[in-house]
Amino acid sequence: MSAQTKPSGAPARFYQAWARSLDRTPFLVALVMLLAIVLARSQLQSGVFTLQELNLVTASALTLMLAATGQTIVLIRGGIDLSIGGVISLGTVIAATRFGEDPGQVALWAAIILATGFGIGALNGILITVLKLQPFLVTLAGWSILTGIALTILPTDGGAVPGWWAGFGYSLFFGLSGPVWVLIALVLFWYWFRATRLGIVIQAAGSSERSAVLSGASVLRINIATYGLSGLFAAAAALYLTTQTGTGSPLIGRDYILPSVAAAVVGGVSLFGGRGHLVGTIIGAFILTIIGDLVFALRVSSYWQPVMSGVILLIAVLASSLAEKSARRQNR
């Protein structure tokens, strides 16, 4: 690299340090933004730093977190999964029309919903690999088909789940609500998963599929596992969502497709694959959820919520892009 193009001095040292920080902690930008939003809210409202607030915010954000967990795995692989919208919608209508009051029957149908979600995702992985189709198109078609099936089962919002099932979000264990314990389990799962062979191979394939294949990995197995897990977590999101709404909705899943991608991207997950962390996605989901509370606290029109969300997304993408460019320059 010539002296004219090679960065030097204080700006170069700043970018180098920034790139190294984001490489070690890809969710650094999201963490800073979350702290800023929480601090801003604390100046406008009381009780922000309490267990009760943590329980309430987590209960509101957990559906998005579960959906975004599967999306994060797919994005790290280098793909995208739009079919999670259909899986969520289908899961809620099956639960609302089939659960009944018997705990055994509820457990059976919950297991069926989870298995169905995994199976739908695995089928996506097979179609993408065997037919060599674009993930966007395959999962878009899946979303449309599943939404149609959900509308056939339940044409309008309705049905019901047992009261004890709907009460999960309000149950407390040692001062923490059920959703907070699910969040803790998600984080523990991630740290376990990313250290497994499957987790390592998925990330490697996202960075370079050719290198992963040369090392002995099977693209078909990787895609089945990746999209299967995405479908599984989308089904889990559907089950949790029914504890919040108490009913089924054949169209509600569409509200979580783009936000699941946005939460991951805000959290530092690369759209090009190979880089990301679930903790960042969780932070991103918290940000997208709390933004609404901040808009309310500022007493401005709710129309500003998508504007602020879009600005945050742009900041996160810009910061990540600058860091990646800086890292590539240093490697030349």
Mean predicted confidence (pLDDT) in 82-93? 97
Strands 172-173 and 176-177: antiparallel
d(CA 222, CA 225) in angstroms, rounded, equals 5
pLDDT band at 79 (very low <50, low <70, confident <90, very high): very high
**Statement: residue 19 has pLDDT above 70:** no
Cα separation of 78 and 75, whole Å? 5
Closest to 227 measured CA to CA, from 85, 77, 92: 77
- Structural domains of the chain ordered from first start: 25-331 (1.10.3470)
CA distance 215 to 76: 18
User: What's the Rg (C-alpha) of the chain?
Assistant: 21
Residue type for position 272? F
For residue 239, what pLDDT is reported? 97
Q: In the structure encoding, which two tokens stand for residue 274, read together?
A: 């190979």
Residue 1: its pLDDT value, please? 45
Percent of the chain residues topping a pLDDT of 90: 59
Q: What is the mean pLDDT of residues 173-198?
A: 94
* Rounded CA separation 29/267 (Å): 8
- Provide the whole-model pTM: 0.89
How far, in Å, CA of 113 to CA of 235, rounded?
A: 6
Contact 287, 41 (CB under 8 A): no
Q: Using DSSP, state whether 158 is helix, strand or coil.
A: strand
Backbone angles phi, psi at 54, to 5 degrees: -60, -45
Residue 4's pLDDT is 44
Q: Write down the pLDDT at residue 121.
A: 97
| Burial readout 169-196 (b: 16 or more C-beta within 10 A, e: otherwise) | beeeeeebbbbbebbeebeeebeebbee
Residue 205: the pLDDT is 92
Is residue 207 within 8 Å of 274, Cβ to Cβ? yes
**43 pLDDT above the threshold of 80:** yes
CA proximity to 275, closest of 212, 324, 331, 225:
324
Asked if 183 and 126 count as a contact pair (C-beta separation under 8 A), the reply is no
pLDDT for 48 equals: 80
pLDDT at residue number 326? 57
DSSP code string of 257-294: HHHHHHHHHHTT--TTSS---HHHHHHHHHHHHHHHHH
Dihedral sign, CA of 224, 227, 231, 232? Answer: positive
pLDDT computed for residue 135 by the predictor? 95
Q: 95: closest CA among 234, 277, 213, 243?
A: 243
Given pLDDT bands bounded at 50, 70 and 90, which one contains residue 21?
low
Q: pLDDT tens for residues 210-258?
A: 888 888 889 999 999 999 999 999 999 999 999 999 999 999 999 999 9
